[in-house]
Amino acid sequence: MIINSNTRKDISFRQLVGYIYEEHLREADGGKKEQKKIDERDFVLLHNFQDYGVDIDNIEDVSDAFLENDKQRKRRKNGVTMYHEIASFAPEDQDKITRSMLYDMARKYIELRAKNGLVLARPHFDKKHVHIHFMISGNEQGNNRSMRVSKEQFKGQRRAMEEYQLSKYPQLAKSYVQSRDGVQKRQKYNRNKQEKIKQQMENRKADFSVVALILEDFQSAISKAHNLKTLVKEMNGKGYEVYERKGQATGIVVNNRKYRFTTLAAKIKYSEKMDLILSNKKAVLETERRIEKDLADLRRLREKREREQERNRNNRKR
């Protein structure tokens, strides 16, 4: 079932009681109970009215009882005077619903939602679906404690109500909403979680096979290499893209992922040879830089001598 709740903050008890009793239909049909044929599933349920001497068919008595009980309520700004809640059943289940079902579920809902409150309950059949109206006092019967519940509490009450319905009246399958959605949501979450775990495991297997192939090719390449240049050549020859860092070949790129030479070498216990290859490369770079520096010094020295010679020639001409 679907359960909706509305609040009122005025003292329009008489109007809501009249609506639930379908007073407008009585008046339209000259004071008869209903304009149309009385539904055999109809009933009026009063909860906690024993102290008010109420005639169950007297609309004035019922509304006066709500008004009298409201005098006990704590006066607050925008305080709730009553709750109007409606429990609706699916149109597809309408022919399966009996009076005993409606009465039993109305009793159960009052027990869950408003055990200590003043409650009027009555089913309506004037629409395409059967629904039960509940008028609940804003405070408990005979005292000032509020009948307010939190959103989470109300959600739990609705779920408990539908679980009761499912266990006792499973034939009303189309009217099972709140708890079923919760179950379906959990089932969907579990399915997605299992699929995610499965996909992660497949990805790990795929990653493992890729890394195993890389390590095999890298072991072959590094065993033949005697310096970084020949290692890069070997890896390029096997179809790998080599990336650089600070001008030096550092590793390879596979499926947008980078694998450092030093990390691969450690996995196959070739770290010492990788260190040797990198150190040789460093020595070569240092030698090249030293040669470049010496050449630059020679150029500066040559330029200095040329300038001195030019000055001497100019002095002799004078």
Return the H-helix or E-strand segment holding 128. Answer: none
Which band of pLDDT confidence, cut at 50, 70 and 90, is reported for residue 251?
very high
For residue 241, give the 3-state DSSP assignment: strand
What is the average pLDDT across 162-181?
A: 79
The top-scoring range by mean pLDDT among 52-61, 192-201, 239-248, 284-293 is 52-61
36-75 pLDDT per residue, tens: 457 889 999 999 999 999 999 999 999 999 999 999 999 9
Closest among 174, 166, 1 to 93, alpha carbons compared: 174
Residue where a domain terminates, one of 133, 150, 176: 176
Task: Establish if 181 belongs to a structural domain.
Answer: no
Mean residue pLDDT across the chain = 86
Instruction: Give residue 256's pLDDT.
Output: 87
Number of structural domains found in the chain? 2
Residues 80 and 108 in one domain: yes
| One-character DSSP codes across 72-83 | TS---TT---EE
**Claim to verify: residue 295 and residue 205 sit in the same structural domain:** yes
Nearby residues of 134 by Cβ (< 8 Å), 6 or more positions away: 83, 84, 85, 86, 87, 106, 109, 110, 113, 114, 119, 120, 121
pLDDT for 169: 92
Give the residue from 137, 157, 176 where a domain finishes: 176
> What would the pLDDT profile of 228-238 be if each residue is shown by its tens digit?
889 999 999 98
The whole domain housing 223 covers 186-309
Same domain? 270 vs 126: no
> Residues of the chain with pLDDT > 90: what percent?
48
DSSP per position, 294-316: HHHHHHHHHHHHHHHHHHHHHHH
CATH of the domain at 150: 3.30.930.30
Please provide the size of the chain in residues.
318
Beta strands 257-260 and 2-8, pairing class:
unpaired
Pair 22, 164 in one domain: yes
pTM given for the model = 0.56
Query: Which distant-in-sequence residues (6+ apart) come within 8 Å of 112 by Cβ?
Result: 157, 160, 161
**Residue 246 confidence (pLDDT) above 90:** no
The DSSP secondary-structure symbol of 35 reads: S
Please report whether residue 318 resides in a domain.
Answer: no
If you write DSSP's letter for every residue of 62-122 in order, what string do you get?
HHHHHHHHHTTS---TT---EEEEEEE--GGGGGG--HHHHHHHHHHHHHHH-TTEEEEEE
Which of 176, 199, 222 delimits the end of a domain?
Answer: 176
